[in-house]
């Protein structure tokens, strides 16, 4: 469960912390019997929101929040060159490096991972567990592995691996860290249990930017059975009676590969009741393609207690379908494993049906001085859950709206 995500110097963002704690004071009256989830619980002290909706004007930086989370995932979960994920603020050069700080719970343990880097090197990398240092690397002076040492995986062994794989010396005998320790160590040392746990956590982080450009939360298509995706989509009343993989005997592939290889087919009924095959990519609407990808990632998050992050959830979707997707994460019957949904949105319809609470709606604004900033409705004085969020937002009470003068 993600509890906060701090971003420094990434595109329009100078210094922002996305908070997911339930910060409305005491729990709602009779909250245990409410039909929807007001919060998710780790224990009796820690409560967090199942949903966070980001609103704001165009170019306010909402999408950059989503892209920052995707960049963080790519940086520490895949092998990427630093210069491809370094995107500093070009309009305010207050900082020379980018930093991501993620806090999250895995079971009852609280982790914090911090990485700071520029286009050439990782400046610092830290992992904390329950407020104690697991490891800390900041060349040339700091290489502390004391919190993760186990058995033969001692500091000397880990340092030797680090020197060869992640920070070899240059011709001047200087070391710079060029890849995250976490990325390589997770694969090389499966006995480092905490790193494996975090790797599993990241594998359940699905990020969707458009109908083909998304980070699948699992490596193989079969983790969420196609029958489950089909069953859910049929409930949404879009006239599809079946979805199938064209060549079921082929090797397992990621959903993205299946899309690119044009292997997804759908069935409709014609006027005479006969089943007719359609190609998903070329013959179905953009909305159907988007909905298919959203469904796979949403169901995977709900099934595994993961996190679904999506830019413009309302894009190409009817407002009623938008509401249903959000309701999945608020519904006690669907969300039994503390899954979370983080999304950007322009459709304000979802603000007027009392589905979202004060802690679950955030407004993103931007200035040259401060870059993109974020503020949840629970931080505005005098706002209550009973109020009409939509009207207050469109009236300009929270900011984050355009002021066209055409």
pLDDT at position 257 is 62
Q: 3-class DSSP state for residue 154? A: coil
Residue 71: per-residue pLDDT: 93
Helix (H, G, I), strand (E, B) or coil at 156: helix
pLDDT of 219 reads: 42
Owner of token pair 């009392």: 354
Distance CA 248, CA 301 (A): 24
Structure token digits, residue 121: 């090197």
372 φ/ψ angles, rounded to the nearest 5 degrees: -75, 130
The H-or-E segment that residue 194 falls in is: helix 193-203
Note the pLDDT of residue 239.
Answer: 84
Q: What is the pLDDT of residue 283?
A: 86
pLDDT for residue 212: 47
Domains in the chain: boundaries: 218-301
pLDDT per position in the chain (406 positions), as tens? Answer: 999 999 999 999 999 999 999 999 889 988 988 888 999 998 888 999 999 999 999 999 999 999 999 999 989 888 789 999 999 999 999 999 999 999 999 989 999 999 999 999 999 999 999 999 999 999 999 999 999 998 888 999 999 999 998 988 766 778 999 999 998 998 889 889 899 889 888 888 888 765 445 544 444 344 677 788 888 888 887 788 888 777 766 665 555 566 556 678 888 999 999 999 888 878 888 888 888 888 888 998 998 899 999 999 988 788 888 999 999 999 999 999 999 999 999 999 999 878 999 999 999 999 999 999 999 999 999 999 999 999 999 999 999 888 766 6
Residue that the structure tokens 């697991």 belong to? 134
CA distances in angstroms from 3 to 65, 103, 362, 369, listed in the order given: 15, 5, 15, 27
DSSP code per residue over 116-136: EE-SS-EEEEEEEETTEEEEE
Contacts 24+ apart (CB under 8 A), 19-23: 19/376, 20/48, 20/49, 20/52, 20/340, 20/342, 21/46, 21/47, 21/48, 21/49, 21/359, 22/47, 22/48, 22/49, 22/359, 23/359, 23/376, 23/378, 23/379
pLDDT given for residue 274 in this prediction: 93
Written as six digits, the tokens of 26 are 């005491």
Kindly report the pTM of this predicted structure: 0.92
Bridge partners, 122 (sequence order)? 117, 177
Q: Name every residue whose Cβ is closer than 8 Å to that of residue 403 and which is 6 or more positions away in sequence.
A: none
Query: What is the pLDDT at residue 216?
Result: 45
Contacts of 141 (CB under 8 A, 6+ apart): none
Burial label for 392, CB within 10 Å (0-12, 13-18, 19+), is middle
The contacts of residue 248 (CB under 8 Å, 6+ apart) are none
State CA 267 to chain mean position distance: 32
| End-to-end alpha carbon distance in the chain | 44
| Spatial separation of the C-alpha atoms in residues 301 and 40, rounded to whole Å | 14
| H or E element, residue 397 | none
User: What is the pLDDT, as a whole number, of residue 240?
Assistant: 86
- Take residue 151 and report the two structure tokens written for it: 């058995």
What is 331-368 written as a DSSP string?
Answer: BTTT--S--EEEEE---GGGGSSS-S-GGGEEEEEEET
Strands (E) in 31-186, as ranges, are 40-41, 47-48, 51-56, 98-106, 109-117, 122-129, 132-138, 142-144
* Per-residue pLDDT, 210: 58
């Amino acid at each position: 469960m993600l509890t906060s995500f701090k971003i420094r110097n990434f595109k329009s963002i100078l210094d922002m912390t996305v908070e997911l704690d339930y910060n409305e004071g005491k729990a709602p009256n009779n909250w245990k019997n409410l039909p929807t989830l007001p919060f998710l619980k780790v224990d009796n002290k820690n409560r967090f929101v199942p949903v966070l909706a980001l609103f704001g004007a165009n170019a306010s930086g909402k999408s950059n929040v989503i892209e920052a989370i995707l960049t963080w995932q790519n940086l520490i979960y895949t092998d990427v060159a630093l210069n491809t994920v370094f995107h500093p603020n070009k309009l305010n050069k207050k900082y020379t490096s980018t930093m991501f700080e993620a806090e999250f719970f895995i079971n009852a343990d609280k982790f914090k991972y911090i990485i700071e880097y520029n286009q050439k090197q990782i400046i610092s990398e830290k992992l904390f567990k329950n407020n104690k240092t697991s490891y800390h690397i900041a060349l040339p002076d700091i290489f502390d592995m004391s919190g993760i040492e186990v058995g033969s995986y001692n500091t000397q062994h880990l340092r030797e691996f680090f020197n060869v794989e992640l920070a070899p010396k240059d011709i001047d005998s200087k070391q710079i860290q060029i890849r995250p320790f976490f990325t390589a160590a997770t694969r090389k040392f499966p006995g480092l249990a905490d790193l494996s746990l975090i790797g599993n956590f990241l594998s359940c982080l699905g990020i969707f930017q458009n109908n083909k450009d998304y980070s699948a939360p699992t490596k193989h298509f079969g983790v969420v059975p196609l029958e489950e995706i089909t069953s859910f989509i049929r409930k949404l009343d879009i006239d599809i009676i079946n979805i199938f993989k064209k060549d079921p005997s082929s090797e397992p592939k990621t959903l993205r590969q299946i899309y690119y290889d044009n292997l997804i087919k759908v069935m409709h009924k014609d006027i005479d009741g006969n089943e007719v095959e359609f190609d998903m990519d070329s013959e179905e609407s953009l909305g159907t393609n988007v909905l298919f990808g959203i469904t796979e990632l949403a169901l995977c998050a709900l099934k595994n207690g993961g996190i679904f992050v999506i830019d413009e959830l309302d894009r190409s979707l009817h407002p009623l379908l938008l509401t249903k997707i959000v309701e999945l994460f608020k519904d006690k019957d669907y969300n039994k494993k503390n899954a979370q949904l983080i999304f950007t949105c322009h459709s304000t319809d979802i603000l007027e049906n009392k589905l979202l609470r004060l802690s679950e709606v955030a407004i993103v604004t931007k200035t040259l001085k401060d870059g993109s900033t974020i503020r949840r409705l629970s931080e505005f004085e005098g706002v209550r859950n009973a109020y009409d969020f939509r009207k207050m937002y469109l009236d300009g009470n929270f900011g984050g709206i355009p002021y066209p003068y055409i």
